[in-house]
Amino acid sequence: MKPLVAAALLAAVALGVSACGEAEQVVVYKQGKYQGKPDSKPWDNAPLAYGHATWKKGDKASWENEVNTRTLGQNEYRRIYNQ
C-alpha cells in the first residue's frame, strides 16, 4: 500500500509543479495567403484606342517602358530644360 501512496503523491506533485511551467503565450502570426479572386495584369490589356500609349498587349517590358517614360514626365527639370 505504501508504494502506491508514494506513487500517487509523486504524481500529484509532478502535476502541481507542471502548472508552474512557462508556456509560450505569444501568438506567432503566420503570413496568410490571399483568398480572393485572381486579378489580371495591367500589361494584359491593349492600349486605349484613343490614347498615345503604344505598348504591346501581354508584353510586360513594353508596358513598363511606357509607364516609366510617363513617370519621367514628372521631372520638370528634364521636361522643361531638356526640350
Chain contacts with other proteins (rule: CB under 8 A): 29, 31-42, 44-45, 47-48, 51, 53, 55, 60, 63-64, 66-68, 70-77
CB 26, min distance to other proteins, A? 15
Closest CB to other proteins among residues 11, 42? 42
Closest CB to other proteins among residues 2, 41? 41
Q: Return d(Cα 56, Cα 68) in angstroms, integer.
A: 15
Q: Return d(Cα 22, Cα 12) in angstroms, integer.
A: 19
CB 57, min distance to other proteins, A? 11
The grid coordinates listed for 2 are: 505504501
CB 1, min distance to other proteins, A? 56
Q: Return d(Cα 80, Cα 83) in angstroms, integer.
A: 6
CB 10 within 8 A of CB 18: no
